[in-house]
A = this chain, B = another copy of it.
Amino acid sequence: MTPGAAHWRRSFSELVEMRVLVTGASGFVGRHAVNALLAAGVEVHAVARETLPIDCPWYCVDLLDQAQARDIVRSIRPDSILHLAWCVDHGKFWTDPANVEWVASTLTMARTAIDVGVRHFTGVGTCYEYDWPADEDCEESRTPLSGHSLYDISKSGCRSVLDGLFAIQGLGFAWARLFFLYGVSEDPRRLVASVARSLVRGEPARCSQGLAVRDFMAVQDAGAALAAVTLAQTQGSINVASGVGVKVSEIANTLGRLSGRPELIKLGALPDRADEPMRIVADITRLRDEVGFRPRLTPEEGLQVAYDYWVEHEKRSLAS
């Protein structure tokens, strides 16, 4: 059990009776959210595309099929939903027309859930919903929103309609905005995974100058934080992040140090991306003070876990 989950069991002892439906439960973040909810002692029903190596009832459902989406909600009759499923194909999801189908599916699930007595719904948003300030942290109620891509436009439109729906029903609704995650099972084309893999193989890790400042969080902690938001029945938009801005170059250099081969980190070998904002960092006052969540891993520990995963992954690849 994570310390976060223990905290929840103490503070919300009445909530351990709750039945939570988790979608996207086999995904990058979802599996950690399920573990944290199980550790807190709640009844978890997991919806996934794949089989789950987790000790809870799970269901293989195509949520983009309206009939299946309705049926699973009606048959589980959850008290609470943590809805993680969405299109997440690396590189493609920014412009994937499936984003629009996921909005429709999410609204259908929420509408159905109200009919069967749901009390709280946690949807998952993104830091890309914000119009990032140049020198401030993104804060839930103060920072203006913007539309950068079909992905964040769809997430934001979905949030707005869900917010209106649950408000009018007098029911709970949280919208957890994830920032930059890394860790076990990450897509190998993403920053931490690609640098770690190069290091594990003893190859140069070619990076940009890495001047952009980002808010990174280990995926285990992100999953535990989402579970905490669900258990706390948080209201409204809430950033799920570390609250710490780190230069991308620093992430790469830390991985270099952890591998014992810092000379393999080649900053400046790739061009900087001109269209990227210099700073995307979360204000985590709500997550820390209202939800009371504390990350379990330091940034260095998180990167160590991620690096070790790629060491093991490489060993398995070579052995097979």
Contact = CB atoms under 8 A, between A and B. Distances in A.
Interface of A: 65-67, 95, 97, 99-101, 103-105, 107-108, 110-111, 114, 147, 149-150, 153-154, 156-158, 160-165, 168-169
Nearest to A167: B150
A99 B165 CA distance: 9
Given A66-B66, A67-B66, A168-B95, A100 B161 contact: yes
Given A66-B67, A157-B157, A100 B95 contact: no
Given A67-B66, A114-B97, A160 B164 contact: no
B104 A100 contact: no
A169 B108 CA distance: 25
Nearest to A152: B164
A156 B101 CA distance: 17
A95 B164 CA distance: 9
A215 B99 CA distance: 36
27 contacts: A66-B67, A66-B104, A66-B108, A67-B67, A95-B168, A97-B114, A97-B165, A97-B169, A99-B165, A100-B111, A101-B108, A103-B107, A103-B161, A104-B104, A104-B105, A104-B107, A104-B108, A147-B160, A150-B164, A150-B165, A153-B161, A153-B164, A156-B160, A157-B160, A157-B161, A158-B161, A160-B160
A100 B158 CA distance: 10
Given A66-B104, A95-B168, A150-B164, 5 more contacts: A101-B107, A104-B108, A149-B164, A157-B157, A157-B164
B156 A168 contact: no
Nearest to A96: B168
Contacts of A169: 97
Contacts of A100: 107, 110-111, 161-162, 165
A202 to B, nearest CB: 41
Nearest to A66: B66
Nearest to A164: B153
Most B CB atoms within 10 A — which of A97, A156, A164? A164
A13 B95 CA distance: 34
A294 B163 CA distance: 39
B154 A164 contact: yes
Nearest to A98: B111
Contacts of A147: 160, 164
A105 B108 CA distance: 9
Contacts of A114: 97
Contacts of A99: 161, 164-165
A2 B158 CA distance: 39
Contact of A168 (B150, B164, B165): B150
Nearest to A148: B164
Contacts of A111: 97, 100-101, 104
Contacts of A103: 103-104, 107, 161
